[in-house]
Structure 1
Amino acid sequence: MTVPRTEQDAHDRRSLHERIAADLRDEIMTGDLAPGTGLPSTAQLKDRFDASNATIQKALQLLKDERLVVGRAGASVTVRDHRQLTVRPAAYMAPAADGEAYPWLAETAKHGGEARSRLLSVGEAAPPADVAAALGLPEGGTALLRHQVLTLDDEPVELVHSYYPLDIARGTALMERRRIKGGTPALLASLGHPPRLSVDRVSARVPTQEQYEALRLPGDLPVLRTLRVVYGDGERPIEATVMAKAGHLYELRYEFTPDQP
């Protein structure tokens, strides 16, 4: 039986400084407060939110910790060029051409800065239940895991766990602890498993301990968790990847055309 939420349940129970930071963060993310723009003065924020000076300063400190604004107490606070990345998932599906960088690195480089991937581990592992189901593994089944963190200007922005069926991975470069030239889509294609379809399931979640530490998250910010399943010929799943992105650094862009009758 579903218990209806009461009006009291729906009340925002966050601390006032967290609510103020949330409103200002949204204005920064949407561009209402553009990079280089000064935030309203402390006096203006006090009037707007009916808050004390100490509460306003706590809210601003949250935004400073998130590297969205910069400034000193008693001085003007300015919106930083926070480089929120607009990601086009469809751009990552095609294998890289000979001599070209892995699509994530090439796409991210368009925003400026230096993008890198750092491989953390490679080995056989039991995947999460949703990954196991996506790959069609039996109960207790394992897959090859390639675990890496992606960085922009040496700051971690995405934690990646990629899983591959063992019968595809065995005896290939997927099993080696080294980066794969051109990325795994190019390698899979060379192995006779060209990517044909990619399906994303995206959710916003409270970060796990691993995600919190690996991404150096500054506070109670959500992560965007994407489960991406890549299918080859015959709709066979050939890769399942769990990507955790810092929620305040990313937005996802999907492009659609209307279904034809």
Structure 2
Amino acid sequence: MAETAREIADELRERIRSGELRPGARLPGEPKLVKDYGVAKETARRALTLLVTEGLAVRRKGSGTYVREFQPIRRVANERLSQERWGGGRSIWSADVGQRPMSVTELRVYEAPAPDDVAQILELDDGAAVIIRDRLFAVEGEPVQAAVSYLPADLVRESAIAQEDTGPGGTYARLAELGAKPVRFVEELRARMPSQDESERLHLAEGTPVVEIYRTALTEDGKPVEVNRMLLDAGVYVMEYRITG
């Protein structure tokens, strides 16, 4: 009996997770799936697309679809935002990737009027300036996250936050030195499909969604001092939150 694209994808996914199809292995192509499962070519294509969208497989033009070799990134929000980390001179970003090769590319630091939504969150007057830090994070040479931070220019303009290299501990360590130490963070997450420009910047496979995160950093007295808009490749991230009652 012919199977659905979902059922075929489920069987291939199980073969990947069991180790039968190892990282880098070529998945059965559309002609073989058509023959083995008695389905239309379009059904076979959708089955492979599902695995690509989930981040388990990648397409190589003119070659086929392969089990993804890139290992997922586990993002543990509680650990990465701890004062112990950035206060000790370590980057927040390193909490996600450990010893895996990583880099920051396409870094731009500049001053501009705050977008309306950012000005509202940061409690700034209309037209107030912010320092913007726009960058792309890559792991093992693969872009996985784009991030844009907005900070009140009057607060950080004369600090290393307005320079490319923020120094040990990054932005939050510098804010602490300015008397605006972040002690609480609020993150809002949503999943959506990316724009064409976002897909190209993150090198996303067709049909791959993104996770968009807005994080606000607040001081002890509740003053917002940073808004960070992050765009994550949903195919490579595992989101983990540790909650104690």
Q: TM-score range by the shorter chain?
A: 0.7 to 0.9
Deviations 1:115-146 (A, max 9, x none): 22225211122344432221112233331101
1:210 aligns with 2:200: no
Q: How does 1:51-90 map to 2 (within 5 A)?
A: 51-53=39-41, 55-57=43-45, 59-60=47-48, 63=51, 68=57, 79-90=67-78
Q: Is the 8 A contact 2:5 2:46 kept in 1?
A: no
1:104 is aligned, of 78, 93, 97, to 93
Paired residues of 2:148 and 2:228 also in contact (CA < 8 A) = yes
Opposite residue 161 of structure 1, the aligned amino acid is V
Q: What SS does structure 2 have at the residue aligned with 1:233? A: coil
Please list every run of 5 or more consecutive structure 1 residues that lacks an aligned counterpart in the other structure.
1-18
Q: 1:191 to 1:63 in 2, by over 3 A?
A: same
The counterpart of 1:136, out of the listed 107, 112, 123, is: 123
In the alignment, the residues of structure 2 paired with residue 119 and residue 166 of structure 1 have an alpha-carbon distance, to the nearest angstrom, of: 21
Change (3 A) 1:83 1:238: same
Structure 2 counterpart of 1:4: none
Which segment drifts farther, 144-153 or 188-197? 188-197
Query: What TM-score, normalized to structure 2?
Result: 0.78
Q: Name the residue aligned to 1:9.
A: none
Residue 213 of structure 2: aligned partner: 226
Aligned position for 1:161 = 148
Residues 86 and 92 of structure 2 are in contact (CA less than 8 Å); yes or no, is this contact kept in structure 1? yes
How far did 1:102 drift? 0.8
Report matched runs for 1:17-36 at 5 Å.
20=5, 24=9, 28=13, 33-34=16-17, 36=19
One-letter code aligned to 1:20 = A
- Report the Cα distance in structure 2 between the residues aligned to 1:25 and 1:252, rounded to whole angstroms: 22
Counterpart among 198, 202, 218 of residue 185 in structure 2 = 198
**Cα offset, 1:51, TM superposition:** 2.1
Q: Which moved more, 1:186-195 or 1:196-205?
A: 186-195
Where structure 2 has 5 or more consecutive residues not aligned to the other structure, the ranges are 22-26
Identity among equivalent positions (%) equals 26
Deviations 1:181-207 (A, max 9, x none): 321111111222221100000011221
Q: What CA distance in whole angstroms lies between the structure 1 residues aligned with 2:174 and 2:102?
A: 21
Which stretch shifts more, 125-134 or 224-233?
A: 125-134
User: Which residue does 2:24 correspond to in 1?
Assistant: none
Change in 2 beyond 3 A, CA 1:119/1:69: closer
- Structure 1 residue identity aligned to 2:96: E
Q: Deviations over 1:12-41 (max 9, x none)?
A: xxxxxxx8379738974xx77417433679
What's the C-alpha RMSD, in Å, of the aligned pairs? 3.6
Q: What secondary structure is seen at the aligned counterpart in 1 of 2:86?
A: coil
Q: Which string of whole-angstrom CA distances, capped at 9 and with x for unpartnered residues, describes residues 205-225 of structure 1?
A: 221343222101121221100
Q: Distance in 2 between matches of 1:233 and 1:205?
A: 33
CA displacement at 1:170 relative to structure 2 = 1.6
Letter of the 1:34 counterpart: R
* Aligned mates of 1:213, 1:27 — CA distance in 2: 28
> 76, 79, 97: which is aligned to 1:91?
79
